[in-house]
Amino acid sequence: MKKICLTVIGLYLTFLHAFSQTTSDDSTYQAKPLKLEEVNLVSSYYSQNGDHSAITGGIGTEKVTDISNGIELKWVGYDWYKRKHTVSAELGIDHHTAASSAYVSKSGASKTGGTRVYPSLDWTVENEQKGTTFGLGTYLSSEYNYSSFGLDMHGSVKTKNNGEFNGKFSAFFDKVKLIYPSELIPNSSNSSGPTYITTASGSTVGLSSGGGHNIPSAQRFTYTASLAFAQVVNKRMQVSVMTDLVGQSGYLGLPFHRVYFSDGTVHVENLPDIRLKLPIGFRLNYFAGDKVVIRTYYRFYTDDWGLTAHTADVEVPFKVTPFFSISPFYRYYIQTAAKYFAPYAAHTSADQYYTSNYAYSALTSHFFGTGMRLSPPDGIMGTKLSTLELRFGHYIQSTNLVSNVVSVNMQFK
């Protein structure tokens, strides 16, 4: 980890040196220290219901509620070389309750809710004369059964003909606590000492005899390289193309997901310890007059687990007044099943890998709703609240999963 951090810092200093060359006379220019320019507050409420819980082997309740709150602080300043520095700090807190998590233990005494805390920090420097940016980001996330640490390096270069290239490279280092279904912990009630189990990725770890406080963890690594190009075609049209190359390794399942075989036996979800993903997206925005914008998006996805997917999205913001707009949206999604998926009691002992998590099943979904945005030039009611956004969405999945989400975003300047 220390080598990665030193490498990123070295690259950052190299880019800063390259950005420092300017052609103008800076003798009278005064640097501007970082100043708080923007505060964003986001809150959302999410609820879902379904009957294909992975915890109980592809059957049972999927009822979940989640309350999310986040705050972002953004500081902006300029150095002696007229480079713009932006520092963004975010803190998010989610609290969720999941009815199915009670069934991790056969007694029904398992944890049914949890809180996730996820701070992040980003530093971006922009050379406005050259049209280049470079930045670093770091992320943390922690909840009772999962923790994650991430780093990223990102940058962009503008072209002379109103285009822009963007690149981002990120790495996440995660730990998954091996909380197994109570009946699948070997010798959990018969031994006073530690027992040992083999994870899906093939490593052997120790477990305390009663599931106790010393629950071991398995590691998961995710590396992503993202590239995008955006082009202004004319005063009404803008297009962009984006792609990601994602590689994952380590423990890629969840230990409390049961899988029931056709012979009546029950097992812990077992998935390969390597996964490669390749999504490719295309976006087109068209300004159909002064009041209407048509935003369209398409993405193709494939991975080496046999899952392929298509996403089509359209949103049409409409300006009711110069400062108030509504934005109806619709998204259609379809995917094939991963080759390791089978429903309840369909897997056999011949299967090397197996899951009954319906996130890997063949499915289609529809997500639609509307957003409202109010942004008067002098603030809302003369306050520092510059923008208020409300958004509601309804989601329907062909697996009988239904959900609703309501979110509020307040921006202060």
In a domain, 259, yes or no: yes
CA distance 344 to 364: 20
Mean pLDDT throughout 278-287? 98
The lowest-confidence range among 140-149, 181-190, 297-306, 394-403 is: 181-190
Task: Give the model's pLDDT for residue 102.
Answer: 81
Whether residue 288 is predicted with pLDDT greater than 50 in this model: the reply is yes
CA distance 294 to 283: 11
User: Which residue do the tokens 């030039």 mark?
Assistant: 377
Q: Which residues pair with 315 in a beta bridge?
A: 295, 329
Task: Give the model's pLDDT for residue 209.
Answer: 35
The CATH number given to whatever domain includes residue 103 is 2.40.160
Whether residue 33 is predicted with pLDDT greater than 90 in this model: the reply is yes
Whether residue 204 is predicted with pLDDT greater than 50 in this model: the reply is no
In a domain, 371, yes or no: yes
Mean pLDDT throughout 139-143? 96
Residue 286 lies in domain: 44-177+224-412
Considering the chain, what is the average pLDDT of its residues?
Answer: 88
Mean pLDDT throughout 245-268? 96
CA dihedral (352, 246, 300, 284) in degrees, to 10, reads 170
pLDDT-based confidence at 19, cuts 50/70/90?
very low
pLDDT-based confidence at 28, cuts 50/70/90?
low
Give 177-193 pLDDT, tens digit per residue. Answer: 998 888 887 554 444 33
In a domain, 38, yes or no: no
In a domain, 31, yes or no: no
Task: Give the model's pLDDT for residue 29.
Answer: 74
CA distance 77 to 87: 9
Q: Could you tell me if 261 and 270 are in contact, meaning their C-beta atoms sit under 8 angstroms apart? A: no
Q: CA angle, corner 52, sides to 50 and 56, nearest 5?
A: 125
CA 219 from chain centre, in angstroms, equals: 18
User: Which residue do the tokens 């999941």 mark?
Assistant: 98
CA neighbor of 106 nearest in space, from 181, 177, 211, 51? 181
- In order, the DSSP letters of 13-67 are HHHHHHHT--SS--TT---EEEEEEEEEEEEEEEEEE-SB-TTTTS-B---EEEE
Give 78-132 pLDDT, tens digit per residue. Answer: 999 999 999 999 999 999 998 888 888 765 545 567 899 999 999 999 999 999 9
Q: CB atoms < 10 A from the CB of 23, how many?
A: 7
Count of the separate structural domains present in the chain: 1
The lowest-confidence range among 43-47, 117-121, 205-209, 318-322 is: 205-209
Q: Could you tell me if 43 and 69 are in contact, meaning their C-beta atoms sit under 8 angstroms apart? A: yes
Task: Give the model's pLDDT for residue 100.
Answer: 85
In a domain, 120, yes or no: yes
Task: Give the model's pLDDT for residue 202.
Answer: 45
% of the chain exceeding 70 in pLDDT: 84
The lowest-confidence range among 65-79, 92-106, 296-310, 353-367 is: 92-106
Task: Give the model's pLDDT for residue 11.
Answer: 40
Whether residue 26 is predicted with pLDDT greater than 60 in this model: the reply is no
Mean pLDDT throughout 373-388? 93
Q: CB atoms < 10 A from the CB of 214, how many?
A: 9
In a domain, 37, yes or no: no
CB-count burial class (<10 Å; 0-12, 13-18, 19+) for 57: buried
Mean pLDDT throughout 203-221? 61
The lowest-confidence range among 198-212, 347-361, 384-398 is: 198-212
CA distance 14 to 17: 5
Q: CA angle, corner 287, sides to 282 and 291, nearest 5?
A: 135
Whether residue 3 is predicted with pLDDT greater than 60 in this model: the reply is no
**In three state form, how does the secondary structure of 354-374 look?**
EECCHHHCCEEEEEEEEEEEE
CA distance 357 to 56: 10
Q: Could you tell me if 269 and 355 are in contact, meaning their C-beta atoms sit under 8 angstroms apart? A: yes
Structural tokens at position 302: 């494939």
pLDDT-based confidence at 320, cuts 50/70/90?
very high
DSSP H or E segment with residue 3? helix 2-19
| Residue positions counted in the chain | 413
Task: Give the model's pLDDT for residue 107.
Answer: 52
pLDDT-based confidence at 214, cuts 50/70/90?
low
Q: Which residue has the higher pLDDT, 361 or 204?
A: 361
In a domain, 74, yes or no: yes
In a domain, 33, yes or no: no
CA dihedral (188, 193, 194, 196) in degrees, to 10, reads -70
CA dihedral (320, 324, 325, 326) in degrees, to 10, reads -100
